[in-house]
Structure 1
Amino acid sequence: MKLTKKMQSALVIEENIQLLKCPICSAEMEMEEHARLVCENKHSFDLAKSGYVNLAPQAHSTKYDKSLFEARTAVMNSGYFEPVLENIIARLNGHLAEIERPVLLDAGCGEGTHLHVVHSQMPTGSVGVGIDLAKEGIVAASKAYTGIVWSVADLAAMPFADGSIDAILNILSPANYAEFDRLLKPGGMLIKVVPESGYLQELREVFYDGKQQKEEADPVAKASEHFDAVETERVTYEFELPNGLLEPLIRMTPLTWGASEEKVREALEMGMNYITIDLRVIVGVRR
């Protein structure tokens, strides 16, 4: 008899229960009846039917809705990100080769495609954990991909034990270096991916008249404040857009949020054949 998604997830979580801590009181957690996580202070968190668990104690509303994650899934499944993911997989497998059952956390995993692809290329027994504050993303991830621990959680207070993670991914998502430092084992690896100046430049020409958006503080310098052996690699290529992919790409990227439907139609009517991917992979090791 085939196990339900909820039961499959419950078994994966139970096998890795030592990773989790209560998001309210930080106590250790236990699985009850393959249906809920409970801590010694009786804080309880039910597994959803699709297998994820909500460990964000406060209700949060985000600007990320179901349609955005559907658009993102379509784009990510097209091979759009493949060279970047290959870069990440090579780095992870090199760093984690000698570790038995390494634990990989994707902090800001969205709808889970990146973590699914990376985890599938890691050695058998590797543990994948994906968190995001956007519930719709985690719902989509848990419905699409089994064998991974999916949780709604806050990057500012992640519900995991100190020193329990071997590697963290942080792809086009805000970072919380204090939490990364707390969670990673000594020698643990952080891989952060940030946009470079040419990223989606064809869309920027339409929506921003080619102007650069204001960048945050230097992400390489920031990583170097918290991690050792920081190195970076710029990954740049042109991705040929299959028919029908331009609209989901426009819908998923923050570059176009707030744009008028007229501007969106203008971009669609241009019939772009390719898009520039220009990203920097930043790698650091916990001190």
Structure 2
Amino acid sequence: MSIHRRERSAALIHPYIHMLKCPICHRTMTMISPDNIQCSSRHTFDLARQGYINFMTRFFKGNYDKRLFTAKRDILAQSAIYTPLIEIIRHRIEGYSNSSSQPVHILDAGAGEGTLLQQITQHTPAVGWGIDIAKEGIAMASSTYDQQIWFVGDLAYSPFAEGQLDVILNILSPSNYEEFRRIMKPDGWIIKVIPRERYLTELRELLFRDRHHHTDSRERVLRRFGMHHHLIDLIPLTYTLPITEVVVNSIIHMTPLAWHGTESAIASVQASLSQITIDLEILVGKRR
């Protein structure tokens, strides 16, 4: 099975190897086999048994572990918690696709365990690329979803050549706007999703009863976004959903918010959380 995954991943990447560059020497990638991918300077990056390629050039140890990514995957599989968001993004990408005669290449920058990219690109002719600095998430993505291309990599040293991507997704994840601008096509789009004030408000209220939990300033996000991309649309999205006990436990493990909650606060969440509010803003931009 692992050999099959490597072979399948190599076959998926092969037609698009020209889109990639070496994150070490920045030269073009020239060769791919079921074992590795190599640049013209012979820097070599292995295909893992799960089928992903690790393009990291430095050691990284993050706080995101397998339990977090499993919880996120379970939530997306067992509930409609992000379905309205996925539908809006798919509709936007379909509009872009209708104006292009070539396959649309979509990068999820901060793909995690891959479910959002899979749901956005499934049953479409789009080519989905997912990258994340957390190996645990990408290993899960490539083990679960076999129609997308998965990389472990640092957005500051991404393995893409200049001007290759039609759409970059940046969903509830940190940004590297300089790199996004470099790897986007001149007429490419960026779709960034940010939390608004009431995002997961029920969870925040239970975890931080005596504290105010700060979110990043919307104005600061918009200012940074506008420095690199023309904002062409801004879509608010707010809804509240009932959730089951199983989903409650997954939410606790999924969100870093719970890392800062006391044991009693987490027990309170498990006992009383029956609904959750999704409050987001979708920024659509074009490269300056």
Note the alpha carbon deviations across 1:55-110, whole angstroms, 9 max, x for none: 01112111000111011111122221000010101011102222211110000000
Does residue 170 of the first structure (1) align with residue 165 of the second (2)? no
Matched with 2:116 is 114
CA gap 1:58/1:285 in 2 versus in 1, 3 angstroms: same
What is the alpha-carbon distance in structure 2 between the residues aligned to residue 116 and residue 79 of structure 1? Answer: 15
What is the alpha-carbon distance in structure 2 between the residues aligned to residue 227 and residue 12 of structure 1? Answer: 30
Matched with 1:267 is 269
Q: 1:220 is matched by which residue type in structure 2?
A: L
Matched with 2:154 is 154
The answer on whether the counterparts of 2:3 and 2:49 sit within 8 Å (CA) in structure 1 is no
| Deviation at residue 7 of structure 1 after TM alignment | 1.0
The answer on whether the counterparts of 1:106 and 1:115 sit within 8 Å (CA) in structure 2 is yes
What is the alpha-carbon distance in structure 1 between the residues aligned to residue 50 and residue 269 of structure 2? Answer: 36
What is the alpha-carbon distance in structure 1 between the residues aligned to residue 33 and residue 147 of structure 2? Answer: 19
The structure that is helix-richer by fraction is 2
What is the alpha-carbon distance in structure 2 between the residues aligned to residue 128 and residue 284 of structure 1? Answer: 19
Does residue 213 of the first structure (1) align with residue 209 of the second (2)? no
Matched with 2:281 is 280
Aligned residues: CA RMSD: 1.7
What is the alpha-carbon distance in structure 2 between the residues aligned to residue 75 and residue 240 of structure 1? Answer: 13
Matched with 2:57 is 57
The answer on whether the counterparts of 2:5 and 2:50 sit within 8 Å (CA) in structure 1 is yes
Note the alpha carbon deviations across 1:169-222, whole angstroms, 9 max, x for none: 000000111001101111100000000000000011111227241424522222
What is the alpha-carbon distance in structure 2 between the residues aligned to residue 219 and residue 230 of structure 1? Answer: 15
CA gap 1:233/1:136 in 2 versus in 1, 3 angstroms: same
Q: 1:265 is matched by which residue type in structure 2?
A: A
Matched with 1:234 is 236
| Deviation at residue 167 of structure 1 after TM alignment | 0.5
Q: 1:201 is matched by which residue type in structure 2?
A: T
Q: 1:138 is matched by which residue type in structure 2?
A: I
Matched with 2:99 is 98
The answer on whether the counterparts of 2:238 and 2:278 sit within 8 Å (CA) in structure 1 is yes
Note the alpha carbon deviations across 1:16-73, whole angstroms, 9 max, x for none: 1111111111111133432210112111111011100000111211100011101111
Could you say what secondary structure the match of 1:93 adopts? helix
Matched with 2:203 is 203
Matched with 1:68 is 68
What is the alpha-carbon distance in structure 2 between the residues aligned to residue 253 and residue 73 of structure 1? Answer: 12
Could you say what secondary structure the match of 2:98 adopts? coil
Q: 1:42 is matched by which residue type in structure 2?
A: R
What is the alpha-carbon distance in structure 2 between the residues aligned to residue 255 and residue 173 of structure 1? Answer: 14
Note the alpha carbon deviations across 1:105-155, whole angstroms, 9 max, x for none: 000000000100111143x2x211000000000000000000211000001
What is the alpha-carbon distance in structure 1 between the residues aligned to residue 53 and residue 192 of structure 2? Answer: 25
Matched with 2:252 is 250
Could you say what secondary structure the match of 2:155 adopts? coil
> How many residues matched?
284
What is the alpha-carbon distance in structure 1 between the residues aligned to residue 199 and residue 32 of structure 2? Answer: 46
Could you say what secondary structure the match of 1:16 adopts? helix
What is the alpha-carbon distance in structure 2 between the residues aligned to residue 178 and residue 161 of structure 1? Answer: 14
CA gap 1:223/1:28 in 2 versus in 1, 3 angstroms: same
Could you say what secondary structure the match of 1:69 adopts? helix
What is the alpha-carbon distance in structure 1 between the residues aligned to residue 2 and residue 72 of structure 2? Answer: 29
Could you say what secondary structure the match of 1:27 adopts? coil
What is the alpha-carbon distance in structure 2 between the residues aligned to residue 172 and residue 101 of structure 1? Answer: 26
The answer on whether the counterparts of 1:169 and 1:191 sit within 8 Å (CA) in structure 2 is yes
What is the alpha-carbon distance in structure 2 between the residues aligned to residue 30 and residue 13 of structure 1? Answer: 12
Does residue 225 of the first structure (1) align with residue 208 of the second (2)? no
What is the alpha-carbon distance in structure 2 between the residues aligned to residue 214 and residue 108 of structure 1? Answer: 19
Q: 2:276 is matched by which residue type in structure 1?
A: I
The answer on whether the counterparts of 1:197 and 1:212 sit within 8 Å (CA) in structure 2 is no
Could you say what secondary structure the match of 2:261 adopts? coil
Where does structure 1 lack aligned partners over 5 or more consecutive residues?
Answer: none
Could you say what secondary structure the match of 2:187 adopts? strand
Give identity over the alignment, percent: 39
The answer on whether the counterparts of 1:89 and 1:121 sit within 8 Å (CA) in structure 2 is no
What is the alpha-carbon distance in structure 2 between the residues aligned to residue 90 and residue 32 of structure 1? Answer: 34
Could you say what secondary structure the match of 1:160 adopts? coil
What is the alpha-carbon distance in structure 2 between the residues aligned to residue 240 and residue 121 of structure 1? Answer: 28
Matched with 1:42 is 42
Matched with 2:192 is 192
The answer on whether the counterparts of 2:2 and 2:51 sit within 8 Å (CA) in structure 1 is no
What is the alpha-carbon distance in structure 2 between the residues aligned to residue 172 and residue 121 of structure 1? Answer: 24
Q: 1:134 is matched by which residue type in structure 2?
A: A
